[in-house]
Amino acid sequence: IPYWYYVSGNNIKREQVPSKEFMEDELENFIDSQIQNCDLEKYYSEGYKISIGAPESNVIIRDKDIKIELKMDLGINFGEESAIITGHNKIVKSNLGNLYDSAKSVYEHEQNNLFLEKYAVDNLRLYAPVDGVEITCSPLHWNADEVFAELGENIETNTLALRNSGKENNYFVLDLPVSPEYEVRFINSRDWARTFEVEPSEENLLLVNPVGNQPDLGILGFCYVPYHFVYNIKYPVLIQVSKQDETFQFPMAVAIQGNNPREPLDATASEAESIELCENKNTQIKINVFDSNSNPVDAEISYECFGERCRIGETSSGNLESDFPQCVNGFVVAKAKGFKKAQETFSTIQDGSSLNIYLDKVYEFPVNLKLDGANYDGEAIINFISEDETSKTIVYPEQKVIGLSEGFYDIRVQIYKDSSFELSKTTQEQCVDIPLGIFELTKKKCFEIEFPSQLISKALAGGGTQEYYILESELSSANSMEINVESLPVPDTIEKIQENNLLFEIKPVEIIFR
């Protein structure tokens, strides 16, 4: 499930809240891809002959139901009788619309108030050493792994205890902007990926030396240990909003930076900032859609501007005249089954303007991989990397069919074979400059980092790279694609792994269409 909010590895905040329109598109794609897989065996066994045409669905998510309009030719023959049904409508009772609105309200409440981060800070200060003073003359030390394990366990337990209903003044009861008929749950697991960091530390040891037991500080008459540790913590929380037997859920990241909650976002969910562009279609535009041979293509047309997408309609015999919302440098998007999606920059300011869009056909065919001239059925990853959104990857031999259109590709084939050798344990010294606090002087402090041994079970043992422009004439006449690569020596040391990675970049890939 995509995160609605997370912090990337380079500490950049990311937000990706889906819109209802996006969810509708996803449901449409699911229906279009699965409707032809319906089990009609019962009717076939009774003598019916059924033919199914290309589906095109339209989904509208409403508060308490989902409206589905499906355009698909359904031909039915029984004996001498026959019928063709072209339209199929269905209303599905569902609280999806209301659940989505409630989930977004919970999300925006979190972004405005950071209540999950505040609970995280409470957990941190309850279950981990943060700052304080202890009266003792011996050093204090903690095992960071044990601290993180206990902290993770209690974050899981206390996150599961959060809820939106219960006795007033209960620490775990939240005041959320959600109707009481909806149950809101918060889920975290210690088995999920998370990041715990603490400074200062030496490897996995938190160590603090006492003050007052030095000869020149004997006047104090006692010794004490002051400590202050700084934590950066990131972990996921799955938020579920439920009503009866329906549940809407989304994950987001909770982040603690320097023992404090992260900074809130400057705005609410980006999807909510709608300018109602689609409600103001007042400029007539003509769209013509063709294939590469200038034959008309029936395609679904939409228009994107300011991050909002509006459905416009479908071309008939390749043509569509319809009203568009006004926008400068928006994008006309054309999608048709069997063709690569096309997107053209187009301003819809002048009434009566027209635009021609050309779609590249996608050709599907099987892939046959050869290693040193012989058929290969072992593990491989085959990438066709394109500059646009049409890059394709297949995991061989589980996947042996690929769909490509004309264009320039960086083809990369990586073959992996069994390898059983162990990288031995290594130790590396790392030094840092520690400020002394006087005249900006620093002192170098070094410590050793130990890397445990690691068993290598799979290793790169063949493949190569090739830049190749694939012509449509090659695709249209091909029944299959043959890919030939050369083998690499199976590595048994870390040095040979590095050598294989260098050889891989200069090994060729031969492409043959048959």
The mean pLDDT value for 314-331 works out to 93
Please, is 483 exposed, middle or buried when counting C-beta atoms within 10 Å of its C-beta (0-12, 13-18, 19+)? buried
Highest mean pLDDT among 283-297, 376-390, 411-425, 482-496: 283-297
Whether residue 255 lies inside any domain: the answer is yes
Q: DSSP letter at 397?
A: T
pLDDT of residue 414: 86
Residue count of the chain, please give it. Answer: 514
- Claim to verify: residue 355 and residue 370 sit in the same structural domain: no
Cis peptide before 397 (omega within 30 of 0): yes
Residue 20 pLDDT more than 60?
yes
What are the residue ranges of helices labelled H in 128-227?
144-160
Whether residue 4 lies inside any domain: the answer is no
Higher pLDDT, 205 or 303: 303
- Claim to verify: residue 204 and residue 224 sit in the same structural domain: yes
Cis peptide before 261 (omega within 30 of 0): no
Structural domain that includes position 461 = 363-513
- Claim to verify: residue 408 and residue 389 sit in the same structural domain: yes
Q: Amino acid letter at 229?
A: F
Q: Write out pLDDT tens, residues 168-209.
A: 668 899 989 999 899 999 999 988 888 999 988 766 778 777
- Claim to verify: residue 429 and residue 298 sit in the same structural domain: no
Nearest residue to 462 (alpha-carbon basis) of 494, 410, 495, 508 = 508
- Which domain-ending residue is among 52, 74, 93? 93
CA distance 160 to 175: 16
Partners of 92 in the β-ladder: 66
Tokens of 489: 């020596």
The mean pLDDT value for 44-65 works out to 89
- Which domain-ending residue is among 200, 227, 261? 261
Residue 514 pLDDT more than 60?
yes
- Claim to verify: residue 29 and residue 123 sit in the same structural domain: no
pLDDT band, residue 141 (cuts 50/70/90) = confident
DSSP string, 394-431: EEETT--EEEE-SEEEEEEEEEEEEEEEEEPPEEEEEE
- Claim to verify: residue 171 and residue 104 sit in the same structural domain: yes
Higher pLDDT, 99 or 170: 99
The CA angle 263-268-269, to the nearest 5 degrees, is 110
User: Which H or E run contains 129?
Assistant: none
Q: Are 346 and 334 in contact (CB under 8 A)?
A: no
pTM score of the predicted model: 0.51
- Claim to verify: residue 290 and residue 155 sit in the same structural domain: no
| Domain total in the chain | 4
User: Which H or E run contains 24?
Assistant: helix 20-34
Nearest residue to 269 (alpha-carbon basis) of 115, 110, 96 = 110
Q: DSSP letter at 295?
A: -
Q: Which residues contact 30 (CB under 8 A, 6 or more apart)?
A: none
Residue 191 backbone phi and psi in degrees, to 5: -85, -10
Q: What is the CA radius of gyration of the chain?
A: 31
Whether residue 122 lies inside any domain: the answer is yes
Please, is 229 exposed, middle or buried when counting C-beta atoms within 10 Å of its C-beta (0-12, 13-18, 19+)? buried
- Claim to verify: residue 106 and residue 83 sit in the same structural domain: no
User: What integer best gives the mean pLDDT of the chain?
Assistant: 85
Q: What is the CATH number of the domain that holds 347?
A: 2.60.40.1120
Tokens of 402: 């690929």
Whether residue 413 lies inside any domain: the answer is yes
Q: Are 423 and 494 in contact (CB under 8 A)?
A: yes
Whether residue 1 lies inside any domain: the answer is no
- 407: phi > 0 → left, psi -120 to 50 → alpha, else beta; which? left
Q: Are 181 and 95 in contact (CB under 8 A)?
A: no
pLDDT of residue 273: 39
- Claim to verify: residue 127 and residue 77 sit in the same structural domain: no
pLDDT band, residue 436 (cuts 50/70/90) = low
Q: Are 226 and 211 in contact (CB under 8 A)?
A: yes
Tokens of 428: 């590396």
Whether residue 458 lies inside any domain: the answer is yes
Whether residue 6 lies inside any domain: the answer is no
- Which domain-ending residue is among 359, 381, 398? 359
- Claim to verify: residue 406 and residue 496 sit in the same structural domain: yes
- Claim to verify: residue 407 and residue 351 sit in the same structural domain: no
Q: Are 171 and 143 in contact (CB under 8 A)?
A: no
Whether residue 336 lies inside any domain: the answer is yes
pLDDT of residue 275: 47
- Claim to verify: residue 69 and residue 175 sit in the same structural domain: no
CA distance 462 to 85: 53
CA distances 207 to 106, 143, 230, Å, are 41, 9, 13
Residue 447 pLDDT more than 80?
no
Please, is 235 exposed, middle or buried when counting C-beta atoms within 10 Å of its C-beta (0-12, 13-18, 19+)? buried
